[in-house]
Amino acid sequence: MARYAMAIDTKRCVGCADCVVACQTENNVPIGYCRDWIVQDTYGEYPNLSMEIRSERCNHCDDSPCVRCCPTSASHYAEGGIVLVTHDECIGCKACITSCPYDARYVHPEGYIDKCTFCIHRVKEGEDPACVAVCPTHCMIFGDLDDKNSEISKVLRSRKYKTLIPEAGTKPHVFYLL
Amino acid sequence: MSKRLNRREFIKILGAGTGGALVGASTIQTFAGMKTASSADLITEGSIEKTPTYCELCFWKCAGWVHKKDGEPWKITGNPDDPNSHGRFCPRGTGGIGTYTDPQRLKTPLIRIEERGKQVFKEATWDEALDYIAAKMNKIKEKWGPECIALFTHGSGGTYFKTLLKGFGSNNIAAPSYAQCRGPREEAYLLTYGEGVGSPERTDMVNSKCIVLIGSHIGENMHNGQVQDFSEAVANGATVITVDPRYSIAASKSKYWLPIKPATDMALLLAWINVIIEEELYDKEYVKQYTYGFEELKKAVKKNTPEWAYPITTIKPHLIRETAREMAKNAPATLVHPGRHVTWYGDDTQRVRAGAILNALLGSWGRRGGFYAPAKAKVEKYPLPEFPKPKKDWKDAFPDQFPLANLALSSGICDATIPTPGKDCSFKGWIVYGTNLPLTLPEPKKTIEALKALELVVAIDIMPMEITGWADVVLPECTYLERYDDIRISPGRESTIALRAPAFEAKYDTKPAAWIAKELSKKLGLEKYFPWETFEDYLDYRLKSIGSSLEEMKKIGVKKLAHDEDLYFLNGEEYEFGTNTGKIELYSTALEEHGFDPVPKYTHHEEPPEGYYRLNYGRAPMHSFSRTTNNSYLTDLMAENVVWINPLIAKEWDIKTGDYVVLKNTDGTKSNKIKAYVTQRIRHDSLYMVHGFGHRQKQMSTSYLKGADDTNLMSRVKIDPIMGGTGMRANFITFSMEDV
Amino acid sequence: MKETVITSGRMNPGIDPVLHAWGWEIPIYLFLGGVVAGILFFAGLYYIRGKSEQYKATVKIAPLFVPAMLSIGLLALFLDLTHKLYFWRLYTIIRWESPMSWGAWILMIVFPLSLMWIATFIEDIFPNWDWKFNFVKKTVTWLTGFQKWMAWGLIITSLILGMYTGILLSAFNARPFWNTAILGPLFLVSGLSTGTAFIMLISKSHEEKSKLGQIDLVLIAIEIFLIIHMFMGFLASTEVQIHAAHMFLGGPYTAVFWTFVFTLGLIVPFISEALELKGFKIPVVIPAMLVLIGGLILRFIVVDAGQSSRWLYKFVEQLQ
Ligand SMILES: Nc1nc2c(c(=O)[nH]1)N[C@H]1C(S)=C(S)[C@@H](COP(=O)(O)OP(=O)(O)OC[C@H]3O[C@@H](n4cnc5c(=O)[nH]c(N)nc54)[C@H](O)[C@@H]3O)O[C@H]1N2
Ligand SMILES: Nc1nc2c(c(=O)[nH]1)N[C@H]1C(S)=C(S)[C@@H](COP(=O)(O)OP(=O)(O)OC[C@H]3O[C@@H](n4cnc5c(=O)[nH]c(N)nc54)[C@H](O)[C@@H]3O)O[C@H]1N2
Ligand code: SF4
Ligand code: SF4
Ligand code: SF4
Ligand code: SF4
Ligand code: SF4
Ligand SMILES: [Mo]
């Protein structure tokens, strides 16, 4: 079994939002919606500043409240721990939306709930997710944590990293390299 | 219905993934004990087609693929063989489909039916529109000569209009990429090294160990390959030194951020040169072998110590020394980046030259991690008859000025169009291809004055931009995704060519520039300059000359051609530079000859009056100037610009993030309302905004009056006396509280 | 100093700039669920205590309104769904981890149970009632034999229903304001209180009214205690929860909450019911209506405030 994850190098990311457009075109995410987004945290006071830039999306949590609270099991874990929504099981009760501490989900205009899929359709073809494949700074790494020799396993062994709000207890699988 | 389809699709994908054939839709409910993917994720199915293109969302011209699914536009991706993009497009290029699908595009030729400025047009046929233009052009030719027509061009399709205008008898062809952009840089490097920097820049940043960015806001300035190189260098541990009054993205990646007082970079550069010479940190061999005028330079910068620079720049002397040593430590793999948009304060050629001199002292020109010698594919031109020789050109309007300008000044042509007593070369006709002059040229009042004085204004564009509002005839071009264009030949480490082929049929009644120029040539009796039957023939001819063909290029998009020149100087290699002395001129003989400072000197620039701040501007990674601000994919990311305000200033004016404010310059010109962004990331003496917003064209309803236009506030420029660049950072603005 | 900016113009409808996944439908549903729980609980309780005749409104009449209330609640819930055609998926699976799921199922039990309950009393209330079909009449008569069992069923299911309306929200740890174990008991007690208030409104018996007034007094006291306890809990908790509490202590919800819910919905009815006990003549509609309105506003506020309290992007500058 694979355990898919993403590592994003905040030191390289320039916040260009290419990953956001690439996701939109790849996945037919409607104009006005997005599955990923860019956050810039600036710390300090002029002129002693530092900045962290993050490309954020669903964290494909191991212990994900969105799956737990879904009354129909439309939200589920798919292969590699990817959290997905089966559209024709979703009733649009939005319990998963309110349960996600990362606000990673939204209501698709067609009624079902949508969010990042880790581009499972591309992953199955052996490709990187669209956002990873487009990133001009090569700051994203996608791969299988169960494979000790994968690039992502290696980078997580060698670099410092964090996840977002680990105290929410969701066990996120998007890692930010610091 | 779609659901059923999607299930089937899933099976196919699964089948591919597991190598087995799985049949029976309802049985595929589980996969290793888990459920199926959601139906909308299964989107790779359908018939997929790829067409090669190179991007037109900016001038980096990345080559890539346009993907269609079941004949519908899907996405654009980079071509991995392309050295400009390495298979990855930037956000603008990735969102290029939005340019094609924009419902507010120009749709048919238009002819003005009322006076200029009032936007009353009638729809016309191509025939009518081109007849109208030809008649007017001939009339101007008869009365004043063909030279009184000028062409402004910025974009791929401009080349056919260049041919047309040259055939017509005028050489007055200008692009804003010279006098409003990188003109000073090209001249500064030409004066120093006998060669320009070019585009894509010949910087070997990917191998640099130390990168010095003076203004250049790479990361926001989203020139693709350059951002990739920068990121790679950062990942490899390069030391970045960023000089910027604003905490740019690049600054956030830097070991040293020097928040310089705007307009004082020359002092910092001279102080760096001073330290490097005084502490003998320069590359002695290199300087001895390749440069001219070291002693003069040394003498000239003697007084420019870090202590001298400190009160000017506000950068502490120890930091100036430390950063100079850092540069020297990593030399020659130290790149003092030449910048790109360098028309800032009017002494720009000299400022960029100071950087060029610094590079020479560090020995980085011709060295790994500094500047490489670019290769450029040699592709035969389509044979054309000779052009007539014009009797005069734009320079005649500026006797004894801008002696070292090597290209026409768009701002100069604009000035020369405004009827001025005592000046004879007034332009009477403008053909404007792919440049939005009212938002592009500073001193916009002059642009409007010139536009009003003309007898003919033709705009060839894809959108109803500001410039089209001033045109007598608007010619709607189809977008780059709907047309062929000339072969892309970009300089780079490798010699490559790229093809742009139409991915979609041209929407509405729009046509490619090549077709428009050829048809117009017929009306003007100049068809001999367009001897090819179809544009495919033209391309095929050129491609055959290098052993390829249109057919092959349609399949591969990008082709690498053989070349075996070295990227760097060989050890101790003799080299003749294209300067007067054949050396790298630290002391410029050409500048001396024309009465300019042969070694750059610090000049003090005007400072903002009390209560005013310097107008600073730049790029956002997801937009290109004014051309993308109506593209729905990109407005989704950024719909309007904001004005950056230091918290101390914001407090003084009682402005909070999210408030709308109106800005006003020293001449009383006001901006459209713009959202405030109160941030520590900017000095207290300037306000910053992204260029390209604040459109005033109702027809572009998506971007109409969204954000503010920096150009509108640029009522003053500082002209570079060496080459005529328009220093655009000479404007001071404040808040117009009565409008808030 | 920390500045957080989302620079890619994220503006997902219903999510940004603050979460607004649930509008008026969910609070209405939760409110009606609570009232129903209260009605059915006391109906069952007083039946078992053998007070069916003294407390006629409680045992027999108030439950008549339950099916309508549940229908409106369910309709609101249905209207809230964004993928309505698939609503039946709720009933293809029971997911214990999902309060939404067992909420849906508990309603599936409560609804028929309340119908059966009503049926067994219908001839009692409407003496001229005719069941038209004999087999219905027979079934009803047969059912009447199980009234005691049904009463127990009502007590249990109504408590679950009442708890559920609070637990539904407190299951969402992602929303700091909902992330408290007190919400379950609070909504249960508030539900019982609004149920009591409803019965008081329709009751004609003075004895019944004053008994229910006494009960309500206790319920309100518990509510006040729980609310204070809840805020103290927040303030002693994590940064995000302190932030959440501050929405009510100087933040945007302060005025509505402390005026309408706390003062008018709890304190004033408490005082007026206490005075009534002391023998002052106060028309019962005043405290009863106040309790009902307060309970309704409470649910609106809690649903709304929960959504605007978040872990991330609390101080985000929305630049788009
Ligand atoms: N996304 C995107 N990328 C682009 C373009 C685009 O439209 N969109 N356009 C392309 C083109 S044609 C060009 S020319 C380039 C332009 O891009 P650059 O060449 O990088 O332009 P600059 O003017 O150097 O960059 C603006 C920066 O200069 C800083 N600055 C302002 N005043 C001063 C000063 O006095 N001293 C110093 N040291 N810094 C100062 C500003 O704070 C800002 O960070 O970008 C290219 N890349
Ligand atoms: N205030 C201010 N002025 C500036 C700058 C600044 O930063 N601030 N930057 C300066 C610099 S560095 C530069 S390089 C220039 C850039 O100046 P321009 O190239 O004029 O920039 P744009 O605003 O993008 O205008 C491009 C025009 O081309 C049209 N266009 C786009 N694609 C096509 C096409 O395929 N065919 C045709 N026919 N038309 C097309 C667009 O609709 C638009 O009208 O601006 C300069 N001027
Ligand atoms: S594409 Fe890459 S560099 Fe750009 S914002 Fe996304 S992660 Fe950052
Ligand atoms: S990030 Fe949110 S939506 Fe994604 S798995 Fe975690 S809880 Fe679920
Ligand atoms: S909205 Fe859909 S996916 Fe989310 S919890 Fe409800 S049924 Fe599950
Ligand atoms: S992995 Fe795919 S779906 Fe997720 S953000 Fe990236 S492109 Fe979008
Ligand atoms: S840098 Fe971006 S906008 Fe410019 S050509 Fe390349 S992909 Fe297009
Ligand atoms: Mo430029």
Please, which chains are in contact with B (at least 3 CB pairs closer than 8 A)? A, C
Residue C102 sits in a domain of what CATH number?
1.20.1630.10
First to last CA, chain C: 22
Give domain status of residue C15, yes or no.
no
> What are the backbone dihedrals phi and psi of residue A172, each rounded to the nearest 5 degrees, phi first?
-65, 150
Q: How far apart are CA B453 and CA B451, in angstroms?
A: 6
The Cα of A23 is separated from the nearest Cα of chain C by a number of Å equal to 13
Question: Is the CB–ligand 7 distance for residue B58 below 6 Å?
Answer: yes
Q: Taking the mean position of all CA atoms in its chain, how far away is CA B673?
A: 26
Q: Which residues in chain B (212-271) have CB-CB distances under 8 A to chain A? A: 218-220, 222, 224, 227-228, 231-232, 234-235, 247, 249, 251-253, 257, 259
B324 shares a domain with B198: yes
B640 and B522, same structural domain?
Answer: no
Pocket-forming residues, ligand 2, beta carbon under 6 Å? B 56, 154-155, 157, 176-177, 180-181, 341, 433-436, 439-440, 460-463, 465, 467, 477, 479-480, 617, 624-627, 691-692, 710-711, 714
Q: Which of B106, B409, B414, B627 to mutate to test the pocket of ligand 2 (most atoms within 8 A of CB)?
A: B627
Q: What is the pLDDT of residue C189?
A: 95
**Which mutation among B217, B315, B320, B336 tests ligand 1's pocket best, with the greatest number of atoms within 8 A of CB?**
B217
- Whole-number Å distance between alpha carbons of B471 and B636: 30
* Alpha-carbon gap, residue B98 to B114, rounded angstroms: 32
| Ligand 6 neighbour A114 (Cβ under 6 A) | no
CA distance B727 to B545: 43
In a domain, C100, yes or no: yes
Instruction: Tell me, yes or no, whether B188 and B173 share the same domain.
Output: no
Residue A98 class from Cβ within 10 Å (0-12 exposed, 13-18 middle, 19+ buried)? buried
**Is C316 a member of any domain?**
no
Find chain A residues with C-beta within 8 A of B43's C-beta: 26-28, 121
- For residue B45, the model assigns a pLDDT of 64
Q: Are C311 and A168 spatial neighbours (Cβ–Cβ below 8 Å)?
A: yes
pLDDT of residue B86: 96
B453 lies in the same domain as B531: yes
User: Is B52 inside any structural domain?
Assistant: no
Closest by Cα among B463, C313, B264 to A40: C313
Q: How confident is the model at residue C143 (pLDDT cuts 50, 70, 90)?
A: confident
In a domain, C299, yes or no: yes
Can you give the pLDDT at residue C313? Answer: 72
| Ligand 3 in reach of A135 Cβ (< 6 A) | yes
Name all chains with 3 or more CB-CB pairs below 8 Å to chain A: B, C
Q: How far, in Å, CA of C58 to CA of C47, rounded?
A: 9
Residue among C7, C12, C95 minimizing CB distance to A70 = C95
Residues B407 and B324 reside in one and the same domain: no
In degrees rounded to 5, what are phi and psi of residue A118? 55, 25
Q: Say how far apart CA C317 and CA B647 lie, in whole Å.
A: 14
Q: Does position C131 have pLDDT exceeding 90, yes or no?
A: no
Q: Are B560 and B496 in contact (CB under 8 A)?
A: yes
Using CA atoms, how far apart are residues B451 and B454, in angstroms rounded to an integer? Answer: 6
CB contact under 8 A, C89 and A89: yes
d(C-alpha B519, C-alpha B314), whole Å: 59
Comparing A133-137, B120-124, C82-86, C248-252, the range with the smallest average pLDDT is: C248-252
Q: Which ligand is nearest to the CA of B222?
A: 1
DSSP secondary structure of A154-166: HHHHHS-EE-S-G
Look at residue B424 in the predicted model and tell me its pLDDT: 64
CA of B177 to the centre of ligand 8 (A): 5
Residues 6+ apart with CB under 8 A from B671: B662, B663, B664, B694, B708, B709, B712, B713, B733
Interface contact flag, A91 C95, Cβ < 8 Å: no
Q: Which DSSP symbol is given to C89?
A: G
For C319, nearest residue in chain B (alpha carbons): B658
* CB-side neighbour CA atoms (13 Å) of A78: 22
Taking residue B534's Cβ as centre, other Cβ atoms within 10 Å add up to 12
SS3 of B194-218: CCCCCCCCCECHHHCCEEEEECCCE
Band (pLDDT 50/70/90 cuts) for residue C314 is: low
B505, burial (CB in 10 Å: exposed 0-12, middle 13-18, buried 19+): exposed
As a whole number of angstroms, the distance between CA B347 and CA B601 comes to 9
Phi, psi of B627 (to 5 degrees): -80, -20
Q: Which pLDDT value is given to residue C132?
A: 79
What is the number of structural domains in chain C? 1
pLDDT of res. B3: 34
Interface residues of chain C, partner chain B, Cβ below 8 Å: 1, 3, 5, 7-9, 11, 317-320
Look at residue C16 and tell me if it is in a domain.
no
- Distance between CA atoms of residues A36 and A80, nearest Å: 20
Domains and CATH numbers, chain A: 4-177 (3.30.70.20)
Tell me, yes or no, whether B223 lies in a domain: no
Cα(B92) to ligand 8 centroid in Å equals 16
Ligand nearest the Cα atom of residue B216: 1
C234-252 pLDDT, tens digit per residue, is: 999 888 889 889 899 988 8
- Which amino acid, one-letter code, is at B434? G
* Minimum-distance CB partner of C83 among A20, A98, A111: A111
Instruction: Output the residue whose Cα is nearest ligand 2's atom 40.
Output: B434
Which atom of ligand 2 lies nearest, measured to the CA of B466?
Answer: 44
Q: Is the shortest distance between the CB of B471 and ligand 1 below 6 Å? A: no
Q: Quick check: is B80 in a domain?
A: no
The pLDDT value recorded for residue B131 is 97
Residue-wise pLDDT tens digits, C2-21: 899 999 999 999 998 889 99
pLDDT band at C135 (very low <50, low <70, confident <90, very high): confident
CATH number of the domain residue B695 falls in: 2.40.40.20
Rounded distance from Cα A136 to ligand 3 centre (Å):
7
- pLDDT tens string A87-126: 999 999 999 999 999 999 999 999 999 999 999 999 999 9
- B347: domain CATH number is 3.40.228.10
For the sheet with B72-78, list strands across it.
Answer: B48-54, B63-69, B72-78
Question: Average pLDDT of chain C?
Answer: 90
Mutate to test the interface with C, among B636, B648, B659 (most CBs of C within 10 A): B636
Nearest CA in chain A to C320: A32
Confirm or reject: Cβ of B706 under 6 Å from ligand 7: no
**CATH code where residue B446 lies:** 3.40.50.740
> Which parts of chain B sit beneath pLDDT 70?
1-45, 423-425
Q: Which residues contact C12 (CB under 8 A, 6 or more apart)?
A: A32, A33, A34, A106
Which of A140, A174, A176, A177 best tests ligand 3's pocket when mutated (most atoms within 8 Å of CB)? Answer: A140
CA of B418 to the centre of ligand 1 (A): 30
Pair type for strands B726-727 and B718-719: antiparallel
Closest CA to B733 of B643, B610, B612: B612
Is pLDDT above 60 for A163?
A: yes
Mutating which of B35, B39, B634, B637 best tests the C interface, going by the most C Cβ atoms within 10 A? Answer: B637
β-pair partners for B300? none
User: What are phi and psi for residue A119, nearest 5 degrees?
Assistant: 50, 50
Residues of B in contact with A14 (CB under 8 A): 218-220, 227, 231, 249, 253, 621
Q: Give the number of other Cβ atoms within 10 Å of residue B494's Cβ.
A: 17
- Looking at residue B20, its pLDDT comes to 33
* C190 in a structural domain: yes
Minimal C-alpha gap between C104 and chain A (Å): 9
Inter-chain residue contact A72 with C99, CB threshold 8 Å: no
Domain contains C13: no
Q: Identify the domain containing residue C224 by its residue range.
A: 21-310
Judge whether residue C320 has pLDDT over 50: no
Sequence-distant (≥ 6) Cβ neighbours of residue C213 within 8 angstroms:
C200, C273, C276, C277, C284, C287
Residues of chain C with pLDDT > 70, as a percent, come to: 98
Q: To which residue do tokens 């993205």 refer?
A: B249
Q: What's residue B30's pLDDT?
A: 34
Of all protein residues, whose CA lies closest to atom 34 belonging to ligand 1?
Answer: B262
pLDDT tens digits, residue range B368-412?
999 999 998 999 999 999 999 999 888 888 888 999 999 999 999
Q: Which of B1, B92, B248, B638 to mutate to test the interface with C (most CBs of C within 10 A)?
A: B638
Residue B484 near residue B534 (C-beta atoms within 8 A) = no
Mutate one of A25, A27, A83, A108 to test the B interface: name it (highest B CB count within 10 A): A25
* Element of type H or E holding A98: helix A95-99
Alpha-carbon distance B434 to A76, whole Å?
Answer: 50
Within-domain flag for C118 = yes
Give the residue from chain A lying closest to B97, CA to CA: A25
B408 and B511 in one domain?
Answer: yes
One DSSP character per residue, B234-302 reads: HHTT-EEEEE-SB--HHHHT-SEEE-PPTT-HHHHHHHHHHHHHHTT-S-HHHHHHHEE-HHHHHHHHT
Does B427 share its domain with B412? yes
Which residue has a Cα nearest atom 2 of ligand 5? A90
B407 and B516 inside one domain: yes
Identify whether residues B474 and B334 lie together within a single domain: no
Site to probe by mutation for ligand 2, drawn from B180, B414, B511 as the one with most ligand atoms within 8 Å of Cβ, is B180
Return the pLDDT at B591.
97
The answer on B296 and B283 residing in a single domain is: yes
Task: Report residue C234: phi and psi, to 5°.
Answer: -60, -50
Cβ–Cβ below 8 Å for C1 and B640:
no
pLDDT computed for residue C277 by the predictor: 81
Q: How far is CA B716 from the centre of its chain?
A: 22
Pocket test for ligand 5, best of C81, C86, C93, C100 (most atoms within 8 A of CB): C100
How far is the CA of C294 from the CAs of B284, B624, C33, C187, C300, in angstroms?
Answer: 85, 55, 15, 12, 10
- The answer, yes or no, to whether any atom of ligand 1 lies below 6 A from the CB of B629, is no
Helix axis angle for C25-48 and C183-202, nearest 10°, is 70
Task: Say if the ipTM goes beyond 0.85.
Answer: yes
CB pairs under 8 A between B and C: 27
In the prediction, which pLDDT does B425 show?
Answer: 61
Q: Show the domain range for B188.
A: 184-211+239-374+568-593
Q: How far apart are CA B708 and CA B382, in angstroms?
A: 44
Residue B427 lies in a domain: yes
Q: How far is A10 from chain C (nearest CA, A)?
A: 15
Query: Do residue B175 and residue B314 come from a single domain?
Result: no
What total number of domains does chain B contain?
3
Q: Comparing C-alpha atoms, which of B605, B616, B603, B604 is closest to residue B732?
A: B616
Q: What is the chain C residue with the closest CA to B677? A: C319
Please give the Cα distance from B734 to B670 (Å, whole number).
10
Query: What are residue B24's phi and psi, to 5 degrees?
Result: 95, 100
